[in-house]
Amino acid sequence: MPEKTATIPDTPLFDRAGAIRGYRLNKMAMALGQPENREAFKGDEDTYLARFGLSDEEKAAVKSRDWHEMVRLGGNLFFILKIAAVDPTPITEIGAAQAGISHENFLYERLGKKRHG
């Protein structure tokens, strides 16, 4: 199965390669489930990120909230959502960033959200 998962277009599954590559990034994000770590992250991102041994490109992706890049580096949405929770960033903005379209287009065209009023 790990070989085949790459065959569905534009659909990166969290397979062995991703899980191994993203481990430290996801571990950093997982820790944000604890309030004291959220405070540390909010207070000084550099110091917080330094605790987890991230590469420079991983740190840069987190600090710039480049969701597309975080996923490319093996970040899994369920973990990096905890970064979004601190900000807070709506999940649909993360979706739009990965789809490479505007948030508005993402909501109405891709998700089929209805316009009210």
Partner 1 sequence: MAKIIGGLGTSHVPSIGAALDKGLRDTPDWKPFFDGYEAGKQWMREARPDIAVVVFNDHGNSFFLDRVPTFAVGVAETYQPVDEGWGPRSIPAFEGAVDFSWHFVDRLVERHFDPLVCREIEVDHGLQVPMELFFGRPERWPVKVLPIWVNTIQYPIPTPQRCWEMGKVLREAIESWPGDERVVILGTGGLSHQLQGARAGFINQAADRAWLDGIATNPEPYRAMSREDYVEQFGSEGAELIMWLVMRAAMNERVNLIHKHYHAPASMTGAGMVVLENAA
- Residues forming contacts to partner 1 in the complex (CB under 8 A) are 1-2, 4-5, 7-16, 19, 23, 26-27, 30, 32-35, 38, 71, 76-79, 81-82, 85-86, 88, 91-92, 94-96, 98-100, 106, 110-114, 116-117
Q: Is 44 helix (H, G, I), strand (E, B) or coil?
A: coil
Instruction: Detail the DSSP E strand segments found in 1-117.
Output: none
Nearest distance from residue 7's CB to partner 1, in Å? 7
Q: Is 45 helix (H, G, I), strand (E, B) or coil?
A: helix
Nearest distance from residue 47's CB to partner 1, in Å? 19
CB closer to partner 1, 46 vs 116: 116
Nearest to 70 by CA among 1, 108, 3, 14: 14
